[in-house]
Amino acid sequence: MKVKYVENAPTDPREFDLPENFSPKNIEDIAEIFQTPLTGHYNWDYSDADSRIKKLYELGKELNWDGAIDLDWSKGIGRDEFPVKAELIARLKGPLAALPEEDRLEYMRHDQAWALSQFLHGEQGALLVASQLVSCAPTYQAKLYAASQTFDEARHVEVFARYLQRIHGLEYPVNKNLKALLDKTLTDPRWDLKFIGMQIIIEGLALAAFQTTKETSNCPLLRQLVHYVIRDEARHVTFGINYLTEFLQTLSQEELEDRAQFAYEACVVMRNRIINTELPAKWFGISEEEILEMVATDETQDIFNNLLFNRVMPNLKKIGLLTDKVLPLYEKLNLLSFADEDNDFEVDWADMNKPLETSKEIDIQSEQQLKTSQKFMDQALQKSI
């Protein structure tokens, strides 16, 4: 194995149709170095003081799953099958709908590979941040939980990488906006900003994006994969909310405003991260600026993008980061309406304790949830007209 060090993340997609004589000697790991002034904490009090965090830690141990055993890899779709459900293809509009079926299939395969690649890169970022939290979280129970989350994130990296390589044979580079937020979260010395960036913003958005993938995917394997990941991520977000709520109350107003501004800027960055500008530019010759303008003026797309924040905004409100100074900024992004939705703080412990669902149970959920989401989108569009 060789390691190649690069100054910046790769910019070209990778294909995984390996040559016949390929061997481990052909592998070249591509690594990028980052520096962080991490401030670590020993903790010499091993008492179980926080029952909520301990309970989440115990759940993480009980509900561990193995991507090689518990996922049915025989249910992956072929590269000649559309990656999303037929009813969604029937609703397509614009240049993509005008493509011949063969080209539309190829575009949508690449489009899903791009989205799943961002999941993969985000999970690697979560793996690195969780490993940092083991060192820098100040309390005993938080260190234990961060250690269990680190293993969860390693499993997520493993299954998304395997899915991309086996099913799509493609992997796209990290989106520049996601990379910017990961860089900031990983290199900031303050442990609570790592919690805010990863547990609240990145993983809160990931929960919504994974749910959309579960609803829309035509692949039983992918639906099962993201459902199991969702269960893990729900614990992670709950951990972040429980841990941050009390800590942020100890900060001065100036320190709190600093965290609130960071969270807002992270939301701006992540709002752009969910827009794929690369493929439309390549396939249809549309510039990044034109794509962003089209999304901003397309009511359907704008509603969909904002819906991904329905898990983030109420959680920011719960932990005290929707201050008077940042409220007008969120209002300009049309995100403030989500602040009063249900948050993840009052967690349904009975739901989180359930055994892992079967692939068949997940498929039934997927169909029901897609119908509910489409109905909601249609109603939202009607209100906007």
CATH number at residue 159: 1.10.620.20
Which backbone phi and psi does 268 adopt, to 5 degrees? -60, -45
The set of residues, in sequence order, having a beta carbon less than 8 Å from that of 382 and lying 6+ positions away, is: none
**Closest by alpha carbon to 141, among 151, 132, 153, 133?**
133
The bridge status of strand 170-171 relative to strand 14-15 is antiparallel
In this prediction, the residues of the chain whose per-residue pLDDT falls under 70 are: 1, 17-27, 49-50, 272-274, 295-306, 342-347, 376-385
CA distance 236 to 195: 10
* Predicted confidence (pLDDT) per residue in 140-151, tens digit: 999 999 999 999
**According to the model, what pLDDT value does residue 370 have?**
85
- Residue 383 has a pLDDT of 54
Q: 20-79 pLDDT, tens per residue?
A: 565 666 667 889 998 888 888 999 988 876 688 899 999 999 999 999 999 999 999 999
Q: Is the dihedral of CA 371, 89, 120, 74 positive or negative?
A: positive
3-state secondary structure of 248: helix
Look up the domain containing 219 and give its range: 2-384
DSSP 315-375: HHHHHT---TTTHHHHHHTT-GGGGGS--SSS--HHHHTSPPPPHHHHHHHHHHHHHHHHH
Percent of the chain with pLDDT over 70: 88
In angstroms, the CA 130 to CA 135 distance is: 9
* pLDDT of 305: 65
Cα distances from 237 to residues 57, 122, 146, in angstroms, run 13, 15, 12
Q: Is the dihedral of CA 333, 339, 341, 342 positive or negative?
A: positive
Q: Give the start-end residues of each E strand in 157-247.
A: 170-171
Nearest partner of 272 among 300, 301, 299, judged by Cα: 301
For the chain, state the CA radius of gyration.
Answer: 21
The neighbouring-strand residues paired with 29 are 3
Number of domains the chain contains: 1
Contacting residues for 28 by C-beta, under 8 A, at least 6 apart: 1, 2, 3, 4
